Structure 1
Amino acid sequence: MSKEILNRITRIKSMLKDLIEKGDLDYALEIIRQYEKVVLNDVEMLSFKGVIYYAKNELDKAKEIFKKGLLIDSTYSDLYFNLGCVFESEGDIQTAIRYFKRALEFSKIEEEKKDVLEKLKVHENIASSVSDTKISFFVKAGLDSFIEDVILGLMDEYFVRKIIVTDFKQIDEGMQWADICWFEWCDELVIYGSRHELAREKKLICRIHRYEAFTNYIFKVEWENIDKVIFVASHIFDIVNSKLKGNIKNKSSVIPNGIRMEDYNFRKREKGFNLAYVGYLNYRKSPNLLLQIISKLRRIDKRYRLFIAGEFQDEENMMYFKYMLKEMGLEEHVIFDGWQKDINSWLEDKNYVLCCSISESQNMSIMEAMAKGIKPVIHNFVAAREIYPSYLIWDTIDEAVEMILSEDYDSAKYRAFIEANYSLKQQNIKIKGLLQELISNKQNKDIEMYYSKESITISKTNIIVIDPISVNMSVDVQRYEEDLEYKLGKYNYLTNYLSPDMLLHDNIRYMLDFLYEFIDKGVPYQKTLYYAFLLDVYKKGYYLNKPEIIIDRFIQLFNVIKRDGLIKKPIVTFINDGHLKGLTFSNGKTVSVRIPDHIKLWVISGRHRVAIAKYLGFDNIPVYVLKNSFLDKERGQIISLLPAYWAPYMEKNLEFYKEQIAQNYIGAFDGKYQSYIDENKKSIVEKFVLKVKPKLLIDVGCNRGELSYGFIKYGINVLGIDISSREELMLPNDYNFIQLDIVKDDLPFPADVILFLSVYHHIFYNYGKEKADEVFYKLLRKSKYLIFDTGHAEESGIYRQSWIKEVKKYFKTEKELLDHFGVPYEILGKWKTTQGDNRTIVVFTNKELE
């Protein structure tokens, strides 16, 4: 850069300082906007820009700009100082102190240091207790796009630095500085880092995306020095784990890349003629298939256009693509828009997004488009069905075209799928949990067994109080129950006992109701108030886990306590001295909730154990009681704990829960597909049935006809079979049905297709393997095609341990179970149960009737 240009930049920045001091903020902002068109990624200019928004009291915008600057230069002290000022003005003193301390580390000018020290002195009463865990992110230039959102999500809680490595000396310096070293991609950087003399001293993370699985890099890493391996997709983990012979299995986690939902404006969209392709064009992306699709669409309607936001990665591919454009007469129908900085805006007028790849980890452009409500048309690349719903996936050009021409277009469903499975918020929570596990493992090595001998009296029972401050203990707010139990377990010789009656309160009564209803009466879990409550608070964002996961843990714990006759882990309670507060989560924001004064003893962990102890009639249970002084050393504050006081909320919503139970679980069937049946399952069954076009289909164990009623509109004769009556199932009048016990009775006549889905394992458990096999062969003889799936030994979860245990006596895997019939089968696809287990749907063909 010439001296003249440098002088001009200096004059501009001097003028900006004057304008900001005078309060002429809008004019200053306009100058910066013009400047940014010419000079990119000027950190000092970003600092000016953030200060302007801070002065305009647009604090979220200011924070966003300052943090963007730190992604460019993580050693720029002004940005840390400015962020500290923003958080200080919001009243978040702990985070403010954290940023001030970071500014002090990188301040090079004495005047800057003086400003920072003055800020820290103002808050010196708590500044000494605030510390940072340092994380270095190592990545090559141009390969940092996936990591930036992760860094931004961690920045407030961890001291993070993004290091673009051009020299291995940067790794030396970064590893020396950091507590945790994150290597983005499995490449030369992590190979070097894993062999570094500091590798055993520091905590090392390697994140593997896709291409690394097919390189020799994975064989060169010293994996024993890597503490955690993150995969962005389960099929990539399977490939690498297999090649490494299972050596990294126990240290691996699958955490997909996340989509920042707020970056993609959603609106309801409809069918149209604009197709989008986003990304590089290379052999793996199969650009030739793009040409085939647009060519066929063009012949149907000349209004179809394919817009490409990307570029070629090799000359041969580019030559072929442009040659075929001319040969096929598609030059007016394929528009090259080049690489896009703002993909959200570029996608705004598009109706479909295409993926023709043969291999992907996820394909982020598809997810970005779905977040906007755009219909994806996804080629069946390896493991595509594990990532996306089957109804969005095509095998042939004809199927892709049919998906584009179809009337089925549901923007809300596309965005909801991404939000439920791949939101950045969810993925960052998982990453924070993984980091906390690493930090906890390190802390636990250093914890000294020191405790307070002070005791108090509650209901004439002497209780030992463990003061977490004295034992240098902190917990992770997001997973406090597990963290507390793990750490307090170190003090188990201090355990005292209390009657369960003393600790009963709040949502424990719903848990007891669940036990009485589900365990005693056999009522389906969806009809219990506990499930209704859990579903409500999960949908509203108060609970992070789905109700099935919580109930699954509850039942597992119940089985353990019932089997062993004792409660192994302690209950943790708080004494409310009038200052105790709780915390709940609502739409990503924390809300402080005062615990009512009349709640003197507040159970914050082990509520499940209290309910089970009461239900089983235990006289007493182990308990820790903590004073209201639970200090998080990292944050230097009394942390708040989830959940807060739920009783008034539950009472307020009791009638709503009862109504929801009546409508959603027992309510009249209207012929629409029910949401609690996996969409993939429906899609897999529907695709095969419509392919063979049976005259008669029998659905054995039809329940409410969720999987078979819809075929009536295609002119297929459908007959439902179930052990329950029509009235109990609330079946529609036009659904042909016979009440029949398939174990004892035979079908009245054969059918072209019989659905025998998720029934076999129930017969297996109730009547034994021989009877279950007998029913299978009986149905196979009656059908041309028997569509089948079942619960299997590789599953785990919600109150299924009884039949899982029975199945495991004979089969170790799902494949063993399917193979044991001795009948050839074709795999139609996989679907996930509500607990996240995969089941495979297959079709057995009766050759005699084919």
Structure 2
Amino acid sequence: MKKTKILFAGHDLKFAQIIMNSLKNQGIYELRTDEWTGHNLHNEEASYECLEWADVIVCEWGLGNAVWYSKHKKPHQRLIVRMHRQEIETEYPFQFELDNIDHIIAISPYVYEEFYRVFRFPREKMKMIYNLVDTERLNKPKMKNAQFNLGIIGICPKMKRLDLAVDAFEKLWEQDSRYKLYVKGKLPQEYTWLWGREEEKNYYEELFQRIEAAPWKESVVFDGFGSDIDEWLSKIGFVLSTSDFESFHLSPSEGMASGAYPLILKWDGSDTIYPKEFLLSSVEEIVNKVITINSASEPQYKPQRLKEYVTHYFGVERATREWQQLITAPITSYIHTSTIE
């Protein structure tokens, strides 16, 4: 049987890797990637070669890659553009050759509506498919005393608000010195573009000085960037999301898949992705939630329920079915606008 040739093109394919692996494992698709070096930077000769090869083109992010492929796509090819949130702050979507785009995927209901509001994409081309979580990989036993370990994944740029995570940890540590804050991800100094911005640099330098001078400094652990997120989460009892805004934010769902309780400071659209019981309004609410859970004589939540939630909404099996529909089925006017209660 001839396999459908699917090309994934973009500057950052990490969020697409799970669906790429899943599609490849179906045995009916052949995959290639056209990895761009920036939002609008690529080897055009290599992109032309990929274009000639593909039956289906998936542009991961709706940036310069989607502009280029929408202007060069051939009539027999299907073009799918998956967008996150960053695109709202760019001009690229206004440059799309929309007639050549078959589907535009948004990763959450809120972002779906924002894309329609800003860009007025035809709704019949739009589809909402949540980000994916590799639930099986993350489902590992918790280490001893994980209930005293807070974790935050990704602290750059400033809008991730590491300072609020530190605030919450500090208040907990002052009540019980067994609490620790584990930080997973690259440091700001590792991003040249970020460290070159004075406001960002000052924010982190002041925060790191605060940590270094604190009596609890040994209880804030920077674990660095790596692909060992499954092992790392096995020691985390609570996963923090303290960002000013997000499009989806995988960290809480990854934490839930591991059995960690999510502590999410509400941002616009968070209630279309996560249950309201996990959405908090302040650092004080985060602290009170942790204390309440850890001081209860009976378990306040069931880790298995968290895992089942993630599997149902963000699991690979469900998303793969939705992707296959886009790849093979006729274009439909299906629109997903429901929110999660």
Residues 1:432 and 1:838: Cα distance change in structure 2 (over 3 Å): closer
1:360 is matched with 246
What SS class does the counterpart of residue 147 from structure 1 fall into? Answer: helix
1:159 is matched with 30
2:314 is matched with 422
Q: Is the 8 A contact 2:149 2:180 kept in 1?
A: yes
1:410 maps onto 2:286 in alignment:
no
What SS class does the counterpart of residue 430 from structure 1 fall into? Answer: helix
- Give me the CA root mean square deviation: 2.3
Deviation of the 1:312 alpha carbon: 3.1
C-alpha separation in 1, matches of 2:255 and 2:5 = 35
Q: Is the 8 A contact 2:273 2:339 kept in 1?
A: no
- The residue correspondences of 1:425-574 to structure 2 (distance < 5 A) are 425-438=317-330
Matched AA of 1:305: K
1:299 is matched with 174
Residues 1:372 and 1:839: Cα distance change in structure 2 (over 3 Å): closer
Identical-residue share of aligned pairs (%): 25
Matched AA of 1:259: V
Which residue, 109, 113, 131 being the options, matches 1:238? 113
C-alpha separation in 2, matches of 1:417 and 1:263 = 16
1:71 is matched with none
Q: Per-residue displacement from partner, 1:70-127 (whole Å, max 9, x unpaired)?
A: xxxxxxxxxxxxxxxxxxxxxxxxxxxxxxxxxxxxxxxxxxxxxxxxxxxxxxxxxx
Residues 1:223 and 1:412: Cα distance change in structure 2 (over 3 Å): same
- The residue correspondences of 1:104-503 to structure 2 (distance < 5 A) are 130-140=1-11, 143-155=12-24, 156-165=27-36, 166-196=42-72, 198-245=73-120, 247-267=121-141, 272-313=147-188, 314-315=194-195, 316=201, 317-407=203-293, 408-438=300-330
Q: Per-residue displacement from partner, 1:200-224 (whole Å, max 9, x unpaired)?
A: 4421110001211222222122222
Residues 1:839 and 1:307: Cα distance change in structure 2 (over 3 Å): closer
Residues 1:265 and 1:839: Cα distance change in structure 2 (over 3 Å): closer
2:198 is matched with none
Q: Is the 8 A contact 2:187 2:224 kept in 1?
A: no
Residues 1:168 and 1:280: Cα distance change in structure 2 (over 3 Å): farther
2:297 is matched with none
Deviation of the 1:406 alpha carbon: 1.6
C-alpha separation in 1, matches of 2:217 and 2:95 = 47
Q: Report the count of equivalent residues.
A: 313
Matched AA of 1:153: S
Q: Per-residue displacement from partner, 1:506-536 (whole Å, max 9, x unpaired)?
A: xxxxxxxxxxxxxxxxxxxxxxxxxxxxxxx
1:452 is matched with none
C-alpha separation in 2, matches of 1:306 and 1:268 = 16
- The residue correspondences of 1:755-774 to structure 2 (distance < 5 A) are none
Matched AA of 1:281: C
Q: Structure 2 length normalisation: TM-score? A: 0.85
C-alpha separation in 1, matches of 2:340 and 2:45 = 49
Deviation of the 1:838 alpha carbon: 5.3
Q: Is the 8 A contact 1:257 1:424 kept in 2?
A: no
Matched AA of 2:269: A
Deviation of the 1:137 alpha carbon: 1.2
Deviation of the 1:199 alpha carbon: 4.3
Q: Is the 8 A contact 1:271 1:409 kept in 2?
A: no
Deviation of the 1:145 alpha carbon: 1.1
Matched AA of 2:49: E
Deviation of the 1:265 alpha carbon: 2.4
- The residue correspondences of 1:730-769 to structure 2 (distance < 5 A) are none
Q: Is the 8 A contact 2:155 2:161 kept in 1?
A: no
Residues 1:836 and 1:213: Cα distance change in structure 2 (over 3 Å): closer
Deviation of the 1:235 alpha carbon: 0.9
C-alpha separation in 2, matches of 1:837 and 1:275 = 31
- List alignment gaps of at least 5 residues for structure 2: 37-41, 189-193, 196-200, 294-299
C-alpha separation in 2, matches of 1:184 and 1:839 = 25
Q: Is the 8 A contact 2:271 2:340 kept in 1?
A: no
Q: Is the 8 A contact 2:106 2:112 kept in 1?
A: yes
C-alpha separation in 1, matches of 2:69 and 2:56 = 12
Q: Is the 8 A contact 2:70 2:97 kept in 1?
A: yes
Residues 1:836 and 1:184: Cα distance change in structure 2 (over 3 Å): closer
- The residue correspondences of 1:661-740 to structure 2 (distance < 5 A) are none
Matched AA of 1:409: Y
User: Whose relative contact order is higher, 1 or 2, with alpha carbons under 8 Å and at least 6 apart?
Assistant: 2
C-alpha separation in 1, matches of 2:231 and 2:324 = 31
C-alpha separation in 1, matches of 2:205 and 2:329 = 51
Q: Per-residue displacement from partner, 1:476-508 (whole Å, max 9, x unpaired)?
A: xxxxxx9xxxxxxxxxxxxxxxxxxxxxxxxxx
Q: Is the 8 A contact 1:137 1:160 kept in 2?
A: yes
C-alpha separation in 2, matches of 1:325 and 1:345 = 25
Q: Is the 8 A contact 1:312 1:318 kept in 2?
A: no
Deviation of the 1:351 alpha carbon: 1.2
Q: Structure 1 length normalisation: TM-score? A: 0.35
What SS class does the counterpart of residue 81 from structure 2 fall into? Answer: strand
Deviation of the 1:423 alpha carbon: 0.5
C-alpha separation in 2, matches of 1:431 and 1:201 = 19
C-alpha separation in 1, matches of 2:157 and 2:54 = 38
Matched AA of 1:413: R
Deviation of the 1:402 alpha carbon: 0.9
C-alpha separation in 2, matches of 1:195 and 1:175 = 11
1:636 is matched with none
Q: Is the 8 A contact 2:129 2:322 kept in 1?
A: yes
C-alpha separation in 1, matches of 2:150 and 2:54 = 46
Q: Is the 8 A contact 1:268 1:411 kept in 2?
A: no
Q: Per-residue displacement from partner, 1:32-51 (whole Å, max 9, x unpaired)?
A: xxxxxxxxxxxxxxxxxxxx
What SS class does the counterpart of residue 186 from structure 1 fall into? Answer: coil
What SS class does the counterpart of residue 7 from structure 2 fall into? Answer: strand
C-alpha separation in 2, matches of 1:323 and 1:157 = 54
Deviation of the 1:282 alpha carbon: 1.7
C-alpha separation in 2, matches of 1:137 and 1:190 = 11
Residues 1:199 and 1:237: Cα distance change in structure 2 (over 3 Å): farther
What SS class does the counterpart of residue 349 from structure 1 fall into? Answer: coil
Deviation of the 1:333 alpha carbon: 2.2
Residues 1:274 and 1:180: Cα distance change in structure 2 (over 3 Å): same
C-alpha separation in 1, matches of 2:152 and 2:284 = 18
